[in-house]
Amino acid sequence: MNPRKRQTAWAAAFLIFALALVAGIVRLNAPPATVGRLEHQQQMQQRELQQRFEQAAVMLHAKQYDHAITALHRVLQLAPRLPEAHVNMGYALVGLEKYDAARGFFEAAIELNPRQANAYYGLALTQEAGQDYESALGAMRTYLHFAPADDPHRTRARSALWEWEAKLGRHPAGTEAAAVPTAPTAPPRP
């Protein structure tokens, strides 16, 4: 390396070191009130996030889907990478029969957390609504794979599998009596 380039490299390295040192000094000398305000702001955002999420869950269970969507929009502004918020938004949209929009939220939740069982359940519902029974079967089987053994929605999921397989002609004639009856149940808890 020629002397001029070496001198430039040393000057750049020194400048980077000096900037890092100044940044560290500024951070160490920041008044405690500034740090306290930042912590307070973060705590307030976390409280709002929890409050809005809980409100949305209550509204979902009360079938007030429009209100749940409003609360979930704020949740997603505060925590855009929270898979549970995407799942709940998907279920609110399913409640309004907006299956294409719901599918996008379930897929986003799965992308954020590939083991998010209730996202697969919701995805299966949207695919069933579009009469894509093959995809619905795959999503519901994935739900059953990830759902805990004591999950109360497993029975409904198995029943849905049976129904979709029957629609695809995979059960011999006369075997409908062996199917698990389909009792109406709520989707998995958000």
DSSP string, 72-119: HHHHHHH-TT-HHHHHHHHHHHHHTT-HHHHHHHHHHHHHH-TT-HHH
pLDDT for 177: 45
* Structure-block tokens of residue 87: 């799942």
pLDDT for 24: 57
pLDDT for 22: 47
Over the chain (190 residues), the average pLDDT of each successive run of 10 is: 65 56 52 71 93 96 97 97 98 98 98 98 98 98 97 96 95 56 52
Q: List C-alpha distances in Å: 94 to 50, 64, 75, 102, 186.
A: 23, 12, 18, 6, 12
Query: How crowded is residue 170: how many other Cβ atoms within 10 Å of its Cβ?
Result: 12
pLDDT for 38: 87
Of the CA atoms within 13 Å of residue 45, those in its CB half-sphere come to 10
Q: With contact defined as beta carbons under 8 Å apart, do 60 and 52 qualify?
A: no
Distance between terminal CA atoms of the chain?
A: 62
